[in-house]
């Protein structure tokens, strides 16, 4: 699902404990080629929007499945965060190989019932045989610093089970309680089903350890001067790669500061970043292309 996106670089953060990944959109004629990006991600809309069980029910009717998935995504489109949630899902599944347990669409059934939740839940099997339960957090901001700061603030509130709206149902323990229903909505291998069941109903016979972790996606805006847009195509691509790497590299210290500030020492963070031109306009166009 990420074939056309360029994986520019992996940065190590916080004494090699965490990864910061930088991806960029494909470039065509000195423009970010969002159309090509959308084409590569279209099939992922169904994976994001509907359960695996629903996908199996319609496996012989791909057009019907696509229609149902886009309808569900379209109904959800009122929330401005949905593109970030979708792209985070794509990175966690497509790059980190961390399968989805629940998407934000399945978690956020009502704004009155559920606030301040994660942007989806995934799991990752580690080389040791243990697992991480990955809670998602995504932001699309003009400024990368603001996006990272608010993402870690949201994670801190999520762990402390606090929210700014005064609603009751929020936080990590409440979200874990929703996982039990997911066992019956999805189709898992025996090992995966055992993992989810034992996560929700832990026993001392559990054959593996599970630690909480976080996946973060930050989309941010870059501005270009006219002289940069006039560069030859190959020089433009080099310039973009150099420019965004300088921006991202400067934020590593910020991430380490937020981990220290919120005392998030024991958690692993998988941070994904991606630049956009005219981020608000691009967000709208990409979403419209995904659900039309």
- What number is the average pLDDT over the span 255-272? 96
Cβ contact 256:13 at 8 Å: yes
Amino acid 282: pLDDT: 93
Residue 189: pLDDT above 90?
no
> Rounded to two decimals, what is the model's pTM?
0.89
CB 134 within 8 A of CB 92: yes
pLDDT band with cut points at 50, 70 and 90 for residue 170 = low
Q: Are strands 27-28 and 18-24 parallel, antiparallel or unpaired?
A: unpaired
Least trusted range by pLDDT, from 24-33, 162-171, 184-193: 162-171
For the stretch 101-134, pLDDT in tens is: 888 776 654 434 444 578 888 999 999 988 899 9
- Which residue(s) pair with 16 in the sheet? none
Residues 174-200 have a mean pLDDT of 70
Query: Which letter does DSSP use for residue 248 in this model?
Result: H
Secondary-structure percent of the chain, ordered helix, strand, coil, rounded to 5: 45, 20, 35
Give the tokens for residue 2.
Answer: 């990420």
Where are the domains positioned within the chain? 6-291
CB 50 within 8 A of CB 182: no
CB 161 within 8 A of CB 172: yes
Report, as an integer, the average pLDDT of 146-170.
82
Q: Which residues is 270 bridged to in the sheet?
A: 19, 215
Does residue 62 or residue 103 have the better pLDDT? 103
Phi then psi for 286, rounded to 5 degrees?
Answer: -65, -45
Do residues 158 and 171 touch, judged by C-beta distance below 8 A? yes
Q: Whole-angstrom Cα distance, residue 277 to residue 224?
A: 8
List the structure tokens of 268: 């692993």
């Amino acid at each position: 699902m990420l074939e056309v996106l360029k994986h520019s670089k992996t940065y190590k953060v916080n004494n090699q404990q965490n990864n910061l990944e930088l991806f960029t959109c494909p470039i065509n004629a000195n423009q970010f080629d969002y159309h090509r990006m959308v084409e590569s991600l279209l099939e992922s809309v169904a994976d994001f929007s509907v359960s695996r069980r629903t996908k199996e029910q319609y496996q012989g009717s791909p057009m019907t499945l696509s229609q149902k998935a886009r309808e569900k995504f379209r109904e959800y489109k009122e929330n401005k965060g949905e593109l970030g949630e979708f792209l985070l899902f794509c990175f966690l599944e497509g790059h980190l190989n961390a399968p989805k347990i629940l998407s934000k669409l399945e978690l956020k059934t009502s704004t009155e019932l559920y606030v301040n939740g994660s942007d989806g839940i995934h799991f990752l099997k580690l080389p040791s045989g243990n697992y991480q339960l990955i809670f998602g957090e995504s932001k699309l901001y003009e400024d990368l610093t603001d996006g990272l700061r608010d993402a870690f603030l949201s994670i801190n509130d999520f762990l402390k089970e606090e929210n700014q709206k005064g609603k009751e149902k929020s936080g990590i323990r409440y979200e874990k309680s929703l996982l039990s229903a997911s066992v019956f909505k999805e189709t898992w291998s025996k090992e995966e089903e055992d993992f989810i069941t034992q996560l929700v109903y832990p026993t001392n016979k559990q054959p593996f350890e599970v630690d909480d972790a976080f996946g973060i996606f930050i989309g941010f805006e870059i501005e270009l001067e006219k002289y940069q847009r006039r560069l030859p195509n190959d020089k433009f691509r080099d310039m973009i790669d150099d420019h965004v790497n300088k921006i991202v590299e400067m934020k590593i210290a910020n991430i380490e500061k937020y981990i220290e500030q919120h005392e998030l020492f024991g958690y692993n963070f998988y941070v994904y970043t991606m630049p956009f031109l005219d981020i608000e306009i691009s967000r709208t166009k990409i979403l419209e292309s995904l659900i039309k």
